[in-house]
């Protein structure tokens, strides 16, 4: 039987076009280089993960963040190490930006015990409590009430911390999102909600899953201050997160950022990407967060060819080391497999 394929939707969407870059300037050359290096590291990490997945070294699900790197890299710079971070299943970049080594993340994806979740979580469940990195959540929207709980704990203990919660545009349709926004606003909880609006929830375009396409409006309904940010511009993201995190510490009220971004690859490795046009993808790729930031830095005379070459070499070496670390990791011992598995008393025979 012939499989009917739907043509990519041609209807106009409110924010389908990439935003134009703003007039941002990095604080210093070192700062600029560290931002660009981290974005390159995450990009190369995921390109390597793609390759290793095809070789069967990584199994299960794999959701790449390629194209969205400016969001996690900019956002983490606007937070402190005392703040908590909650992410989704597209979180390799968030974990690395939070300081979890690429090797530990790669080992987790291999399912090895030297991974950050001892190999039990895989790509979608990266955790590191010592870095206050709480997920890695496979269920859409699941991290949002969890983040509200972390913020409630900080408030009850009078700690001046912020919980940053990342989620996609698809999560805004979930009941958990609305219940969490309502409660965070009512109880004045220190949460920074960060919606990574990449225009698609799996293969479903925003205008097919949202009755109100202005995502920031969903937050304002609950009395939460909301802003829209260009997610292809790492400096814009950094500035917005820093400013809003400061405001949360000052006022003790939640805030919301809708970050306009785009994933260049499919939803997951199994996605043939039949729901959007090649022209749309190419147009967004002209705003690639790494090459457009490098161009800005070159034009400002802050980096040259030698710098870029050096960065590429050191990133490649770090990725090689990450793969070595994962390859050399141990599998969990068979006798440990039932450790942490809970059963009602007496249920075991």
Ligand X SMILES: Cc1ncc(C[n+]2csc(CCOP(=O)(O)OP(=O)(O)O)c2C)c(N)n1
Residue positions counted in the chain: 349
For residues 225 and 92, give the distance between their C-alpha atoms in angstroms, rounded to a whole number: 28
CB of 125: closest distance to ligand X in angstroms?
A: 12
CB of 339: closest distance to ligand X in angstroms?
A: 27
CB of 18: closest distance to ligand X in angstroms?
A: 16
Q: Report the residue number, 93 or 170, with the smaller CB distance to ligand X.
A: 170
- Asked if residues 248 and 255 have their Cβ atoms less than 8 Å apart, the reply is yes
CB of 198: closest distance to ligand X in angstroms?
A: 5
CB of 37: closest distance to ligand X in angstroms?
A: 24
Q: Report the residue number, 72 or 191, with the smaller CB distance to ligand X.
A: 72
Q: Report the residue number, 90 or 255, with the smaller CB distance to ligand X.
A: 90
Q: Report the residue number, 151 or 206, with the smaller CB distance to ligand X.
A: 206
CA distances from 163 to 31, 84, 134, 139, 265 (A): 24, 5, 10, 19, 29
Q: Provide the terminal-to-terminal Cα distance of the chain, rounded to the nearest Å.
A: 49
CB of 265: closest distance to ligand X in angstroms?
A: 11
**Maximum pairwise Cα distance, the chain:** 71
Q: Report the residue number, 67 or 254, with the smaller CB distance to ligand X.
A: 67
Q: Report the residue number, 120 or 209, with the smaller CB distance to ligand X.
A: 209
Which single residue brings its beta carbon nearest to ligand X?
Answer: 168
Q: Report the residue number, 117 or 261, with the smaller CB distance to ligand X.
A: 261
Q: Give the footprint of ligand X on this chain (CB under 6 A).
A: 90, 138-140, 168-171, 196, 198, 200-202, 267
CB of 62: closest distance to ligand X in angstroms?
A: 12
Backbone angles phi, psi at 86, to 5 degrees: -125, 130
Of the CA atoms within 13 Å of residue 138, those in its CB half-sphere come to 9
Residues forming beta bridges with residue 166, ordered by sequence position: 194
The torsion of the CA quartet 18, 20, 25, 26, rounded to 10 degrees, works out to 10
SS3 sequence of 69-126:
HHHHHHHHHCCCCCCEEECCCCCHHHHHHCCCCHHHHHHHHHCCCCCCCCCCCCCCCC
């Amino acid at each position: 039987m012939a499989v009917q394929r739907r043509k990519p939707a041609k209807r106009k969407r409110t924010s389908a076009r990439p935003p134009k870059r703003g007039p941002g300037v990095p604080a210093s050359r070192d700062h600029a280089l560290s931002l660009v290096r981290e974005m390159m590291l995450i990009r190369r990490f995921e390109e390597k993960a793609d390759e290793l997945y095809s070789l069967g070294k990584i199994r299960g699900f794999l959701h790449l963040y390629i194209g969205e790197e400016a969001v996690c890299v900019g956002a983490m710079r606007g937070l402190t190490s005392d703040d908590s971070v909650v992410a989704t299943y597209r979180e390799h970049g968030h974990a690395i930006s939070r300081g979890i080594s690429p090797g530990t993340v790669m080992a987790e994806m291999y399912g090895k015990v030297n991974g950050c979740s001892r190999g039990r979580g895989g790509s979608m469940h990266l955790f590191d409590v010592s870095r206050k990195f709480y997920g890695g959540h496979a269920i859409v929207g699941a991290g949002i009430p969890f983040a509200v709980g972390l913020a409630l704990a900080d408030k009850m203990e009078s700690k001046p911390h912020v919980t940053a919660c990342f989620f996609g545009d698809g999560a805004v349709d979930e009941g958990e999102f609305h219940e969490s926004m309502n409660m965070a606003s009512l109880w004045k909880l220190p949460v920074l909600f960060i919606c990574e609006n990449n225009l698609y929830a799996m293969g479903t375009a925003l205008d097919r899953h949202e009755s109100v396409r202005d995502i920031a409006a969903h937050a304002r309904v609950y009395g939460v201050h909301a802003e829209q940010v260009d997610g292809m511009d790492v400096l814009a993201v950094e500035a917005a997160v820093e400013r809003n995190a400061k405001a949360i510490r000052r006022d003790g009220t939640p805030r919301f950022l809708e970050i306009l971004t785009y994933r260049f690859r499919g939803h997951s490795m199994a996605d043939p990407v039949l729901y959007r046009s090649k022209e749309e993808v190419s147009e967004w790729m002209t705003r690639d967060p790494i090459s457009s930031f490098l161009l800005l830095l070159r034009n400002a005379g802050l980096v040259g060819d030698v710098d870029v070459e050096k960065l590429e070499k050191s990133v490649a070496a770090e990725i090689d080391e990450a793969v070595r670390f994962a390859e050399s990791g141990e599998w969990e011992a068979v006798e440990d497999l039932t450790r942490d598995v809970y059963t009602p008393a007496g249920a075991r025979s």
